[in-house]
């Protein structure tokens, strides 16, 4: 099972936009950095736009840029924008209710998931997009 990569891609996209200052960046350029199709980037930019993180303009002079400075965008805000806030998916079908485990596993897993979601959100709230850019810049050394 592959993990959902939308959060990672969103942080990547936002970091590119943050490093470009006030210059509008085209989805083709971002897609090349992410190594994906520009359509994937445009869909993600649309979601980020709907949640007030970016503004975009179409056309020859078009592109996207951040609505706020990187220091004012928390990773929690990005996570909530692109994530369903689920560390793992629960059973797609109702387990056997005549089995002790099957009857109670959903409740136990829901409680665990809630605790993990809270821990993730608490951790992400401590970091901003600017923190990520700083970490990236230190990695180049």
What are the domain boundaries of the chain? 6-139
Q: Which fold has domain 6-139?
A: Arc Repressor Mutant, subunit A (1.10.10)
Buried b / exposed e across 104-126, counting CB within 10 Å, b at 16+? eeeeeeeeebeeebeebeeebee
pTM of the model: 0.85
pLDDT in tens, the chain (141 residues): 345 789 999 999 999 999 987 789 999 999 999 999 999 999 999 999 999 999 998 888 889 999 999 999 999 999 999 987 677 778 788 899 999 999 999 999 999 999 998 999 999 999 999 999 999 999 876
């Amino acid at each position: 099972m592959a993990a959902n990569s939308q959060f990672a891609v969103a942080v990547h996209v936002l970091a590119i936009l943050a490093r470009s200052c006030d210059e509008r960046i085209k989805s083709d350029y971002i897609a090349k950095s992410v190594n994906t199709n520009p359509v994937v980037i445009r869909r993600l930019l649309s979601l980020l736009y709907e949640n007030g993180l970016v503004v975009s303009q179409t056309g020859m002079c078009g592109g996207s840029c951040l609505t706020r400075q990187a220091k004012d965008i928390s990773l929690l805000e990005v996570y909530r924008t692109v994530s369903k806030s689920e560390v793992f998916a629960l059973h797609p079908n109702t387990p056997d209710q005549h089995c002790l485990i099957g009857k109670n596993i959903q409740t136990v897993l829901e409680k665990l998931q809630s605790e993990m979601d809270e821990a993730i959100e608490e951790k992400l709230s401590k970091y901003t997009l600017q923190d990520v850019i700083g970490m990236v810049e230190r990695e180049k050394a």
